Chains A and B, each alone.
Chain A
C-alpha cells in the first residue's frame, strides 16, 4: 500500500527558513509532485509543483532527488501568516486505476 508521510508538526520563528519533507515510496513514474497550504475550513492552496531536481517560484522552492522517493518544500523566510497545514500530493502506481494521495500533512506553527 502506498504511503506518503510527513512530520506531524514543526515549529519555527518569523524570518527563519523552514524545510518540510515528504516521503513517497510508490510514486508514479510520470507524475508531478505538488505542495499545498491549507488553513482551517478552507480548500488547499497551490504552492509549488515539480517533477525532478529543483523548482523555485516567488514563495517557495521544491527539491526532488533523482529517485523521486521524497521531496522537500523550502519556505525561505516564514511569517506568522504562514502558520498552516502543508501537504504534498503525488500520483501512485499500482492497481487498476490511477490514484492521487495526499501526504499526512505537517502543521507549521510560526512564532514571533
Chain B
C-alpha cells in the first residue's frame, strides 16, 4: 500500500510569484486535506476535497485554491506569494466513506516552501 506522497519536497519562490504543490493520496482514499504549518506553529487547515468537491475551508484568502482530480490526487495553488506564505505545506488523505470532515487522516511528508 502506497502512502501519501507530496511534490516537490522543497521549493523557493519570490514574492508575487505563483506556486503549485501536488499530493497523491493513499491508495483507496477519496478525500484530501491541505494544511499550512509555519515554523514552530501547529498546522492550519486550508481546505478539504471529497470526491472532487470542496468539503470544508479554513480562514485562508481566495489566492489559496485547490483542485482534486478523478484519481483523487490534488493540487494546492497559491497566487501572489507573500513572505508569510513561507511554511511547510501538508497534505493528508482519508477514506471518506461517509464524507465526514474528520475521518482519519494520514499525512504526507510535506513541501517546504520558502518565499524570498
Contacts and interface: CB of A to CB of B under 8 A. Distances in A.
A105 B102 contact: no
B76 interface: no
Contact of A43 (B45, B101, B108): B108
B103 A46 contact: no
A46 B106 contact: yes
Contacts of A33: 102
A81 interface: no
A46 B108 CA distance: 11
A32 B57 contact: no
A93 B78 CA distance: 26
Interface string A40-66: 011111100100000000000000000
Interface residues of A, number: 27
B95 interface: no
Interface string B79-116: 00000000010101000000011111111111010000
A102 B43 contact: yes
A58 B44 CA distance: 28
Interface residues of B, number: 27
B92 to A, nearest CB: 8
A100 B58 CA distance: 7
Nearest to A45: B107
A89 interface: yes
Contacts of B44: 102
Contacts of B4: 43
A34 B102 contact: yes
Given A98-B48, A104-B42, 8 more contacts: A31-B100, A31-B102, A32-B104, A34-B105, A43-B4, A44-B90, A97-B56, A99-B58
Interface of A: 28, 30-34, 36, 41-46, 49, 87, 89-91, 97-105
Nearest 10 interchain pairs by C-beta: A43-B107, A98-B56, A31-B102, A32-B102, A100-B45, A102-B42, A91-B102, A98-B101, A105-B42, A97-B57
